[in-house]
Amino acid sequence: MGPGTAPGSATGRLAPGLSSEEAARRHDRDGPNTVPPPRRTPAWRLLLAQLTHFFAGMLWIAAGLALISGAGSLAVAIAVIVVLNGVFAFLQEHKADRAAAELTTLMPARARVLRDGEGCTVDVADLVVGDVVLLEAGDRIAADLRLEDSHELTIDESMLTGESVPLARAVGADVFAGTFAVQGDATGTVTAIGTATRLAGIAALTERAERPSSPLAVQLHRLVLVVAGIAVAVGVLLAGVSISLGTEIAAALLLGVGVMVALVPEGLLPTVTLSLARGAQRMAGENALVRRLDAVETLGATTFICTDKTGTLTRNEMAVVEGWTRAGSFTVAGAGYAPDRVVDAPPAALALLREAAVGSGACIKGRAVRRDDRWVADGDPMDAALDAFGRSLGSAPEDRVVPTARLPFTSAAMSSAALVAGTAYVMGAPELLLARCVDTSPEGAEWAELADLSRRGRRVIAMARATGPAGTTEASLAAATAGELTLLALIGIEDPPRPDVADAVALCRTAGIRVAMVTGDSAATAAAIATEVGLLAPGGTVVLGADLPDSDREVADLLDRPEGAVVARVTPADKLRIARALRTHGHVVAMTGDGVNDAAALREADVGVAMGRSGSDVARAAADLVLLDDSFATIPQAIQLGRGTFANIRRFLTFHLTDNVAELVPFVLWAMTGSDIPLAIGVLQVLALDIGTDMLPALALGAEPANERTMSGPRRTTQVVDGRLLRRALLVLGPTEALLSMGAFLTVLVLGGWSWGAQPPAALLATASGSAFAAIAVGQVANAFVCRSETRPAWLVDPRRNPFVVAAVAVEAVLLVAFLTVPWLTRQLGGTWPSTAGWAWCLAAVIALPLVDAAHKALRRRVG
């Protein structure tokens, strides 16, 4: 749009908007255009919830029973566990919420306004009463407005009224903050901002809605319930065995309660939340903004990407470079949006091109502007390219005509139109317009030129003039442009691929992720770009959206090809069908979109991906992931981080479950032998292992960075807990650690003179118990390094890649020494400094656990 211009109306030009000085004065007077944030749950209530949920309730009951039975130390220990886990979970939830709030600042809300007679973009918070706001399809309305100009504008008011059908809004109507422009464009004057808007006055909108649990959360809650069920069953069983051996009921009850408390994985879910939050922050550092934490894991499971072409695979830096008129072809020298490029064309062709420029200038809204000694696009890049082309033909910005009537571009019509001085012009998809031009034929030169331009990867725009009477209204303009046309020009626009796209597509293929281009452009142009970036190989599918099969299964079979696929001239309904068809074919689908009509497809896909720079507000609101740089290459980077986060969750789950086996075995052996084998470790020692020595290594495993093997082949499993993980933790690592700890315990006892069934002296039992405790703790040190990889031996994983693990095990070693040497702690826990034989078993744990794990991995590779 030229300086001082705006979408026109029958009444003439609109006012140039406020001056910058007046806008600043009103901002100082009225304050920023912000509404009160949603009412948040007080911190004390969140903390209380973490201290009173189901598992916490179980533990409080256990603490009460212990206190009543006279076991004050156990009661205090259980209470400390509840408080520590509650505080930890609260801090992680608070940290995740704060991280999400910080991430949203990476994508500030913006609005287009007229100020000082020029179109400019400002932060939504800087809107003031009296500002002239320019609306386009897909914009979120940022303040209450009264429409001064409207072209087929429809508004989605579902946020305010619940009405799902978009409503038409004409000149003089009020539109409200929080709603969306679905179709058309308009200009409106701000009538209310901030707390004075209708949006701020609706109290119900200030409450946050509850989201359903994600698949990951469901899996983890199921795991916690299963493990907790096992813990309760084991606790009850051991209490019964203890009673049968003659133990007092109170003591037996305390034993069962203690075992149950020790085995409940109450700290697991907060650890997962922290890992997801860390993954989201890492993605933000790679220009991928995750709008929901659970989308981090879903993104890592992606197996099929449906991507747009323009701005995602290409740079979205457009320039008219060549084209055709009936009077001859033309070329344009130079590059970019500079308005002084040289157009080389026959004189008769120049006349047609100048008329085409008048029509296109009336249809478009964007323009080329000079900023920081560089010509850039202000608004839609294609509009800016056409504006620069028209100015290269000799038209000045002030010559740009305000149309008497205008029809904005719609995906259904694939064209836009404008009425200028009684003549109707239409601009749009060449296949549709050429078919209606009276001066063309299927065998004509124009079709051959269109094919040549498309094969060279040009985005082709047809410009035509209506032959019939145009009238003076939008209705008459629609009627005129729906009839017979005369072709003025085919305009070839260059939009080169991004330099990093080819490598990104290759990375997707290496990772077993299939890619399809889903675009509104022509099939030939799309295929040319897809071939250039390696997305389309020989034998790949190229099909028009209108030619897709009727059956969703046939659609999936057509597109699900390793050679790639291109679907051209798609409609929003086509994108929705494609996402649904691929999902029913078993794929986890990521779908990109930037337009207002893409929202349904983005919601249908497993991962909706919107553009941060060029995308509409509607698309961003519907998306799970927003590309802050609009680049396709960001998607596989985000998938790699998502896979890494998923792998980290499996790492610390393996770590936790291994420890549970080693902690449970001493109680099982004590019960199975009728106490002939003394209890190797007590309940308080188990709690010390869970909270004191295991928590930090588990958190450190959640920070393991993704490596180059993360994208080598498809993701091996879609389940966070599967048979492979359980076999490794419960049948390999856990039993190995349990064998070593019981070996240390029994060796120390036997060397101290103990015999089967005898009660060992207290000092000997304390030394043996300390040895078993140390063997488990040291085994978990080795296990932290073992769990860093599911496929490679621990010694092949570079410790420098995750210094948090090294730091965590160092802290674990300090705590272990404290638990074994500080007198008060040794009295409470019941174990003392290990003997030489005990330390030998600890050393064996450091060696044996990695060796056993490596042997298991080698066997697993051999059997497939």
Which neighbouring-strand residues pair with 621?
A: none
CA dist 839 and 850 (Å) reads 18
d(CA 463, CA 476): 19
Residues 6+ apart with CB under 8 A from 150: 169, 170, 171, 173, 184, 186, 187
Q: For residue 140, what is the DSSP state?
A: B
Give the span between the Cα atoms of 146 and 122, in whole angstroms: 19
Between the CA of residue 69 and those of 211, 255, 682, what are the distances in Å? Answer: 43, 11, 17
Three-state SS string over 206-269 comes to HCCCCCCCCHHHHHHHHHHHHHHHHHHHHHHHHHHHHHHCCCCHHHHHHHHHHHHHHHCCCCHH
The answer to whether the beta carbons of residues 290 and 107 sit under 8 Å apart is no
All residues at 6 or more sequence positions from 759 whose CB lies less than 8 Å from its CB, including other chains: 678
| Helix extents (H) in 105-214 | 158-161
State the catalytic residue, choosing from 156, 308, 383, 606: 308
Report the distance separating Cα 2 and Cα 362, nearest Å: 11
567 within 8 A of 574, measured Cβ to Cβ? yes
Contact 632, 508 (CB under 8 A): no
Q: Known catalytic residue: 690?
A: no
Angle made by CA atoms 367, 371, 374, in degrees to the nearest 5: 90
What's the CA angle centered on 498, arms 706 and 365, to 5 degrees? 125
Residue 772: half-sphere exposure toward Cβ, Cα within 13 Å: 31
Given the DSSP bridges, would you call strands 541-544 and 565-568 parallel, antiparallel or unpaired? parallel
Give the number of other Cβ atoms within 10 Å of residue 443's Cβ: 7
**Amino acid at residue number 616:** S
Q: Which amino acid is at 755?
A: S
Backbone angles phi, psi at 152, to 5 degrees: 50, 35
Q: Which residues pair with 183 in a beta bridge?
A: 154
Residue 654 and residue 5: Cα distance in Å, rounded? Answer: 64
Residues 6+ apart with CB under 8 A from 603: 622
The identity of residue 531, as a single letter, is T
Residues 779, 849 contacting (CB under 8 angstroms): yes
Instruction: Say if residues 841 and 771 touch (Cβ distance below 8 Å).
Output: yes
So which residues are the catalytic ones?
308
